[in-house]
Structure formats: structure tokens, C-alpha cells
Structure 1
Amino acid sequence: MERKQVVRRVGLVVLVANAALALAKAGFWLETGSLALGSEAVNSAADALYSAVVVAGLYLTTRPPDFEHPHGHERIEPFVALFVAVGVFGAGIGVIWTGTASLVEGSYAATSPLAAVVLGAGAIAKYGLYRYCLGVGEEHRSPALIATAKDNRTDVLTALAALVGAGGAAVGFPVLDPVAAVVVGGGILLTGVDIVRDNLDYLVGAAPPESLRDDIVAAALEQPEVEGAHDVIAHYVGPEVDVSLHIEVQGDLTIREAHDIETDVINAIREIPEVDDAFVHVDPKELGEWKEGKWRDEREGAT
């Protein structure tokens, strides 16, 4: 199945699941009056809201290249992920406010064990969504789905915290209910910070990990005629990487031979999953542009 079909399908599954969880938690919150369950209902409602935005964003990012966007639309994905972060921050602040106000006013009371049951079921559902989104997001290099996975991972932890609060309130310790709501809100805020940190590199064109640069150079040096590589620049353009580098070849090659080598190097680098495009400059090795400390071929006879 094509990438666009997969990520769109995941987005729809997450939207439906979050909407169902929000409705279920809200219904049982009205039934039990649990603040912890109410905070989780708000969290799931925020999840459903931003899931709708993610679905729209994934539709845009998976559109094919066109005249105005010759490299495709994948660069929209980090912005979608940041929108997820905004929704996460909003939900976290709201939940902390509600829990803190309840603690200050002393407006809490024992609740039904049913709240704990609902929160436990919600935690299980969120863990399933976390594993599902993370697997597809990593396989298809989707920042938006990875951000959604991390939000679901935190939802598992916050649901467990809310479960402790609701359970404590059910057995005679009602103060644990608003305390759990505040803990839930703090966990939600931490998720927002994590999502922002992950996606800033995509937006500012940061360099990828050094291991990827090594893979790029290795792909270039696998070509028999390439004797060295230098001035390697790799940077994120959205979730994918653009590469430029210089390669060294024998100076007596014909233009056609040099062109064929350049094409082979570009194709080899483009086969690296993280790479979107590569730009290669061919240097005669006799010019001595190679710099000490840079990459050079170690094959026998290379100088």
C-alpha cells in the first residue's frame, strides 16, 4: 500500500478512536462526577480535535508533486505536528486549572469505582493507538504520526495517574481525584514540549545524525570510480533530507564518463530511505580539493 494511503488511514483510525473515547469518558464523568475522569474527557476531546486537523494535514502532505511544489508536500507535516502540540498545551493548561481550582476550593468528593474502570479501559486503548501510530510513523517517516504516537504514550501515563486518583476517591481518599487531575495536566504539557522539540529540527533545516552522513558518503564511495568525497552538506527539508557533496574522480575522464558516475552516485544516495534528493559536484582529484580530515576512499591504489 502506498505511503499516502497508509498515513491517511492511520489518521482516520486515530480520529475515530479519540472521538469515541471522548464521548465515553464524558458520559461516565457526568455519571460519576470524577474530576480525574473529567480531565481525561477533556484530554480525549482535545485529541479528537487535533486528530481532525492531522487528518486534513496528512491529506495535504500526501498529495503528489505539482508545478508549485515539485518536491511534494511533505514539508507541511512538521507544521501539522506543531498544531498537535498547540492542542496538547491547551488541554494540559485547562486540566491543571480545573484540578488546582478544586484543590483550593475543597470541592471534591468520593466517586464511583466505575470511573476507575473506564480510565483503565481508556489506558489500554491508548496504548494500542501508541504502538500502532509509532510503528507506521517510523516506517513511513511521518513526523505527524510520530507526534500523535507520543501524545498517545503520554495519554497512557496520564490515564494511569487518573486511575489512581479515581480509585483513591472511590475508597475514601477524595483529595486524590483533583491531585490526579493536576498530574494528568503536567504530563500533557510535557508531551507538548516533546513534540515541539522533535519538529523544530525539521523546520529550521538542522543537520541529520552523523550516522546518516556516514551512510551518504559510504553510498558515494561504493561507486568504483569515486576516490574521495568532501564538502558533504545534509539538512532536513521537512521530514526528509537533502544532500549536496563533492566527489573526486580521475581527471582524464570524458564528460560522458563523469556524468555517468555522477548519476550513479545520485541514484545510490537517493536509495537511502531518509534522503529526498542529492546534488553532486564532480572534481578531478588532481586539483587537490580534498581536505584533511574529510572522507576519502581507502581502496588499494587510491591517493
Structure 2
Amino acid sequence: MTKALIRLFIRDAENTHDARVREQYGVLSGAVGIACNVFLFILKVVIGLVTGSISIAADAFNNLSDGLSCLISIVGFKVSGKAPDAKHPFGYGRTEYIAGLVVSFIIVLVGFEFFKTSLDRIINPAPVTFSAILVVILAVSMLVKLWMGAFNVQIGRSIDSPVLMAAGQDSRNDVITTGVVILGMVAGQFTTLPVDGYVGVLVAAFIVWAGFGIARDTVAPLLGEAADPEIARSIEKIVMESDYIVGVHDLIVHNYGAGRSLASLHAEVPSDSDFVAVHEVIDEAEKRVWQRTGVYVVIHMDPIDVNNEHVAALRGQVENELQGIDESLSMHDFRVVDGERQINLIFDVVIPFSYDKEAQRDLLLTIRNELQKIDYRYNPVVTFDHQM
């Protein structure tokens, strides 16, 4: 059914990097979500009124909040699909994340409200009517949610949308909460304890937990995440295909919404190269990265001395010592200032974020000691940085 809906409502569905196509996917997902959730809301409200079950009512309003979330998602995709302008030259892609954050707040609010209602049911118990046909109807709603989860996950993967992936996970969470509600209805027939209220508390807690999870997933890209390792490796590999370029470092990727990423990196080239030719090669590398990954990259050229055997030997010694200290360490921008009594080895070391200030001081001392075991004249001048 998912493929049929995509064929019916989305033009040029394969071109998922196109903002207009992404918008169509988002609107389709939201529209399907609204239709399904409104249907489930009406169904469960009726069941809740007939049976007097607060847990079913809680689950019904959870579906209503999901429908509202789908509406906000549609608005988010519509705004994020707007073309860049003078005020926002990088586009409106991050609106999609803001929409996801608003959705998470609504989910958390609904969860807290039904937590209070369920707590009141525990304090003031009321009988719950049980019917096998009602259980069957709730089971049908679970099947609907299972399909919605698979639908959103498939579309979310197609367009690399964290909001739709979160919506898919939320639908799967709803399957679990409805299953718990059914268990509560059944258990309530064999005890005088207010099982329905306890189950309502569990459902409410699950709703709140899901809301916080979605908030976490949408806040992360708004704050600025590290580059996706796969994208980073792809960019570096594409750039390294170029003539003259012998190394890359300091790759930084800025995400302005799905399908809108900008990057910068430093490319090491031999210092005795024809720099006009190198400039052309770098321009070509930037174009290849854009064509293959959809990331707009700016490359800074770093000339290094690769033909000096003495410098190459010193570089090899330093690299070996760094690997012996910690295999996660790497270096770049290596230069040498020779002297009779002191040889300055100037380079940058890329360290993990786990290295705090004290660990950095210890590492610098270790590097100095290990290099001076080779030659007491070695004076490492080290700058620490991080892989972005």
C-alpha cells in the first residue's frame, strides 16, 4: 500500500534530494497520519465511554495528539521546503526539526494530563465493562498503528527525515500502549484492584517517555551534531581521488536541514605544485562532492613539503610515536624548523573529545618525552584539535 500511495501522490519520487519532493513525502505522511489517528480517536473514545475505561480514553487522546502532531509535521515540511531568501540564505530546512520539537512537547503534555487522570482513577476506583468485541476492535487499532509505523519509517528512510523516523517509532510505541490497555481490561475482570488506573499510569509514563525521546532526537541537530561518519568518509574519499591532494583534515559539516548541508575541509598538497592546476583540481573535487553526496563543500588548500626526505622521516617518527601512545590520535600540518641544539617539530594532533584539559597536558608531556628519547633536541610544538 505504501508504494501505491507514493506512486499516486508523489511526482518524481526517486529524487529525494529535491526539496519539493521531500515536501510531498512529508505532506503525504502527515495526511495519512491525520486520517488514521482521527479514525482511531473516534473509535477509542466510543469504546472508552461504553466501558468506562480511563486507560482506553487516555489511549484515544494519545491518538488525537498524534493527529495534531501530523498536522504540525505537514506545516513543518511546507515551511522547510521554502526556497532560500535574503533573510535565510541557507533555506528553512531546520523548520522540520522545530516541528518535531513542538510535536514532542504536545506528546509530553498529553502524557502528564492523563497521568493525573489515571492517578485520580486509582484513588477513586470505578468499574470497567469488559467485552471481547471491544478487545478485537482495539486489536484492529494495533494493526493500523503497526502499518503506520512501517509506513513512516519507510518514508523517513527514503528522505532521511528524523521527524518521520520519530513518528514511526511513536506509532510502534502506541501499539505497545494499546496492548497494555487490553491486558489491563482483562486483568480488571479478576480483581477488585483499580487495575485500569494503574495501566493508565503506565500508558501515561510511556507517552511522556516517547515525547522526551522525540525531543532529544530533534534538539540534537538544532544544537549541531558531529558529521555523520558515513558522509564524512564519503567526502574524504571523493576529495582524495584528486591529483595533487595527498591528505585531508579539519572536515566540518553544517546541517541546515535534511538535504541542506555545507562543509569545509583542508586539503594537503605538495608545496612545489603548480597552484593554478591545484586550484582547478580542488574546484573539480568540490563539484564531485556535491554531485555524489548533495553536500556543498569549500576546500582550503594546505601546502606541505612532501619531497623532503628529512622532513618525511621526521613525520614518520612522530606518527609512529602517536600511534604507540593512542591509536585514536592522528596529526596534520607537520612542519620542521631545524637547528643545531633544538629541532622544532610543529604539528596539530586530532584528539577525541574524551581528552579533558588534564589529559591534554599529560598527552603533551608524553609526546615530548617519547620524541626526546629518539633525539633530545626534538621540541614538539603541538596544537590540539577535534574531529568535527
TM-score w.r.t. structure 1 length?
0.87
Q: Which residue pairs with 2:123 in the alignment?
A: 104
Q: Which residue pairs with 1:289 in the alignment?
A: 333
Deviations 1:278-301 (A, max 9, x none): 12111223398355666xxxxxxx
Q: Using the alignment, how far apart are the partners of 2:194 and 2:131 within structure 1?
A: 14
Q: Using the alignment, how far apart are the partners of 1:8 and 1:161 within structure 2?
A: 31
Deviations 1:15-44 (A, max 9, x none): 111111111111222222222211111101
Determine whether 1:78 maps to 2:122.
no
Q: Using the alignment, how far apart are the partners of 1:271 and 1:197 within structure 2?
A: 31
Q: Which residue pairs with 1:219 in the alignment?
A: 238
Letter of the aligned partner of 1:145 in structure 2? L
Q: Which residue pairs with 2:153 in the alignment?
A: 134
Letter of the aligned partner of 2:278 in structure 1? A
Q: Using the alignment, how far apart are the partners of 1:271 and 1:184 within structure 2?
A: 47
* 205-214 or 146-155, larger mean C-alpha shift: 205-214
Match of residue 188, structure 1, among 196, 203, 207: 207
Q: Displacement of 1:190 after TM fit?
A: 0.9
How many residues align structurally? 293
Q: Which residue pairs with 1:65 in the alignment?
A: 84
2:222 match: secondary structure = helix
Structure 1 contact 207–236 (Cα < 8 Å) conserved: no
Decide whether aligned partners of structure 1 residues 118 and 170 sit closer, same or farther in structure 2, where only a CA change above 3 A counts: farther
Q: Which residue pairs with 1:267 in the alignment?
A: 287
* Identical counterparts, % of pairs: 24
Structure 2 contact 41–60 (Cα < 8 Å) conserved: yes
Structure 2 contact 289–295 (Cα < 8 Å) conserved: no
Match of residue 250, structure 1, among 259, 270, 276: 270
* 210-219 or 73-82, larger mean C-alpha shift: 210-219
Structure 1 contact 220–269 (Cα < 8 Å) conserved: yes
Name structure 2 gaps, 5 residues minimum: 1-12, 14-20, 307-331, 335-346, 351-388
Match of residue 41, structure 1, among 60, 65, 72: 60
Q: Which residue pairs with 1:198 in the alignment?
A: 217
Letter of the aligned partner of 1:82 in structure 2? L
Q: Displacement of 1:235 after TM fit?
A: 4.0
Q: In the TM superposition, what are the counterparts of 1:138-217 in structure 2 within 5 Å?
A: 138-170=157-189, 175-217=194-236
Q: Displacement of 1:61 after TM fit?
A: 1.2
Structure 1 contact 133–145 (Cα < 8 Å) conserved: yes
- The CA RMSD measured in Å over matched residues stands at 2.4
1:70 match: secondary structure = coil
Deviations 1:39-76 (A, max 9, x none): 11110111112211111111111233334333332111
Structure 2 contact 65–110 (Cα < 8 Å) conserved: yes
Higher relative contact order (CA 8 A, sep 6+): 1
Q: Displacement of 1:219 after TM fit?
A: 2.1
Q: Using the alignment, how far apart are the partners of 1:169 and 1:112 within structure 2?
A: 12
Structure 1 contact 19–48 (Cα < 8 Å) conserved: yes
Deviations 1:113-158 (A, max 9, x none): 3432222111111111111111211221112212211211211111
Q: Displacement of 1:242 after TM fit?
A: 2.9
Deviations 1:198-250 (A, max 9, x none): 12221111213444433322222122331111222234334454321110223
Q: Which residue pairs with 2:18 in the alignment?
A: none
